[in-house]
Structure 1
Amino acid sequence: MHDWLTLAERNDWIDLAAGVGMRLVGALVLLFAGMKIVGWIADAAGRALARTRIEPTAALFLARVAQTGLQIVLLLAVVQLLGVPMTSMLAVLGAAGLAIGLALKDSLSNIASGVMLVALRPFRVGDIVTIHGVTGSVEFINIFQTRLRGADNQTVTLPNALITADSIVNLTPDTRRRVELVLGIGYDDDIDRARAIVMEILTSDPRILGEPAPDVLVYELADSSVKLGIRCHVANADWFAVKCDLTERIKKAFDAAGITIPYPQRDTHVYTHDARTPAAARAPEAARAH
């Protein structure tokens, strides 16, 4: 029985297999070593940026963008080492990039929004913000997403495109924050007496700052009550506790002083008709009832 391959053809196949094997091993070694080097460069760049005057959020974002770019270059080098023609590879990547760009337009908008957040800096890592109805501390700003830590220790992840399209309330730029309560008292109650009771509570609380000075104003003459606006400033960390404490203490003080806090009410008048009233006379009343 004769071999179906000649010796020369067999040697060619062996050489081809050896060449492919060497390229494959070299590509794997390059990929493994390159990922280690890229990670080391990204860490070094992050540490170098942290030592500069660049804001920490921008430094972290730039380090991650640089790491992603280096990883793309590394993958292209690995593909070239495997023997794939770069011209054909770039053409395929261009066509694939167009298709992927159309399919992932929302993701690309998140990337653009992430760049805007880093450039414009409406908030930084560690700031307390309210975005899209969610309040929490900013943990990190990624290329695609921003993560908040809520007051109840829940993690909230928001797409960057949603953040730039919505209003952003940053509660951290100043060290103080205003507490504002709107309470109603009855029209028969003494406004000056209610103001004096509230001011005594405000001035006796050491957490309330003296500057700007707290005040009590008449906001509105509403349908059922006189609306009082109670305003004071506290440290950011004390805002929620002071707001709750003031609400309780003012309610108890008003109760002790006989000052009412009215609630909306409506008077209903019921009219009855004598059964002896003629039907013709009751018809207009029935029509008005309907």
Structure 2
Amino acid sequence: MNLNTNNVSSYADTFIKTLVDYSPKIISAFIILFLGLYAIRLINRIIRKIMVKRELDPTLTNFLADILLWVLRVLLFVSFIDKLGIGTSSFVAILGAMGLAVGLSLQGSLSNFAGGMLIIVFKPFKVGDTIEAQGTVGTVSEIQIFVTKLINSNNQTIFIPNGSLSNGTITNYSMQGSRRADLTIAISYDTNIKKAKEIIFEVLNNNPKILETPAATVIVKNLSESSIELAVRPWAKIEDFWNVYSDTLENCKSAFDVAGIEIQPFVKESSKK
């Protein structure tokens, strides 16, 4: 196949001329892009500092900052293609059609976005709260646009979609500031109940982490075939809860040993045939 050198030369000249004529638009468009990205990061950083300075809720601060970041990026992208000479009206129409198609295929993501908005508005929990939801217990680390990030007691990071989170049952252990430990201690029928309760109350009163209000209670919970079950219910601040929980069990066991009271082991009752 023979190439016409005149045609090749003509095409090359046309390409070079077009490139030279179009290069100012390309250069200015990329200058706008790079300066815009830098400006967006700067604006986002400033907005975050302003909201933190005004002591806005950290959850609301992060959420609004993320939304602002994406809105500014979309506006920058539209400006970028407009500077390249691509008609923004036709592009916006195409973008709208694509948005509709993507929206229909990503209904779950839109549901998660709406769920995030509901969480921000109604505040069933905030960053730092310990919650139980979707079968998971953890401390809220971050509320993002589509998911909420929890850190559990094993230091594992768990992401829960905001849609299912906002539509499900949420137990917030931190909202009230205090929490009650529900403990059960079983003693034999030979044990003096009054004496056992006095020992338990003494243990509770000697623990400074146990709150005086609401007052701790010790009651007979159940009379089983093998033991008397005492319900021990001390109150503690959220940050002291697990220490109070374990200390109460340990100190009651030690006090019972000194008093010569044996904790009745759990006996599985056999079914009658």
Q: Runs of 5+ in structure 1 lacking a partner? A: 270-288
Inter-partner Cα distance in structure 2 for 1:11 and 1:237: 75
* Corresponding residue of 2:138: 136
Q: Which of 60, 63, 76 is 2:62 aligned to? A: 60
Inter-partner Cα distance in structure 2 for 1:236 and 1:40: 38
After the TM superposition, which of the residue ranges 79-88 and 125-134 deviates more from structure 2? 125-134
Identity of aligned residues (%): 32
* Corresponding residue of 2:197: 195
Structure 1 pair 150–10 and aligned structure 2 pair: CA distance change class (3 A): closer
Q: Which of 97, 100, 103 is 2:102 aligned to? A: 100
Deviation readout 1:63-82 (Å, 9 max, x if unpaired): 11011101001111111112
Inter-partner Cα distance in structure 2 for 1:105 and 1:263: 51
* Corresponding residue of 1:284: none
* Corresponding residue of 2:147: 145
Q: Which of 245, 249, 261 is 2:264 aligned to? A: 261
Deviation readout 1:112-151 (Å, 9 max, x if unpaired): 1111111111122222222323333222211112212222
Count of paired positions: 269
SS at match of 2:218: strand
Structure 1 pair 15–189 and aligned structure 2 pair: CA distance change class (3 A): same
Structure 1 pair 260–125 and aligned structure 2 pair: CA distance change class (3 A): closer
Structure 1 pair 221–97 and aligned structure 2 pair: CA distance change class (3 A): same
Structure 1 pair 231–5 and aligned structure 2 pair: CA distance change class (3 A): closer
What is the Cα-based RMSD across aligned positions, in Å?
2.6
Q: Which amino acid aligns with 1:169?
A: T
Q: Which amino acid aligns with 2:22?
A: V
Q: Which of 81, 84, 94 is 1:82 aligned to? A: 84
> Between Structure 1 and Structure 2, whose CA radius of gyration is higher?
1
Structure 1 pair 70–188 and aligned structure 2 pair: CA distance change class (3 A): same
Q: Which of 115, 125, 136 is 1:113 aligned to? A: 115
Q: Runs of 5+ in structure 2 lacking a partner? A: none
Q: Contact 1:224 / 1:265 at 8 angstroms: preserved in 2?
A: no
